[in-house]
Homo-oligomer: A and B are copies of this chain.
Amino acid sequence: MSEEDALAARVAEAMFERDRASKLMGMEIVEVRRGFARLALVVREEMLNGHDVCHGGYIFTLADSAFAYACNSGNHSTVALQCSISFSTSARLGDRLIATSQERVLGGRTGTYDGEVRREDGSTVALFRGTSYRLKGHIV
């Protein structure tokens, strides 16, 4: 593991420790490297909307957490400025969703990250894109 990937892992651990939202929702940090994160979430009963499928908000939240772990992986405190999500197919009760986020462009204090949420069979649930903004300060 490169030094910067080791740092990314330490940052993710410190963030997750304090990140009640992601933790209590049941997210699992599968992998974090410099500029990249992969998280998982199993769709539970309490995440279903009136159409009996997973509320888009939970799908966004998973993708947004992956984005947060990816854009903070360099140990600079970084926040989401703007995000967009395109929904493809529904996620259902019991589906294990995998969200990835990958840095595409980083320049000055802003960056663009691409994300996907997929089922374990590889089918696409949503495409995500986030614009990040680097604050002052570090995570660890």
Task: Give chain A's interface residues, CB within 8 Å of chain B.
Answer: 14-22, 24, 45-52, 54-58, 60-62, 64-65, 68, 77, 79-89, 104-105, 107-110, 112, 114, 124, 127, 129, 131, 133, 139
What does DSSP make chain A's interface, helix, strand, loop or mixed?
mixed
Which of B50, B107, B109 sits near A88, CB closer than 8 Å? B107
Q: A15-B50, A68-B49, A82-B84 are in contact. Are A55 and B89 (CB under 8 A)?
A: no
Q: How many copies does the complex hold?
A: 4
Quote the shortest CB–CB distance from A32 to chain B (angstroms): 13
Quick one: closest B residue to A64, CB to CB?
B57
Alpha-carbon separation in the docked complex, A113 to B87 (Å): 13
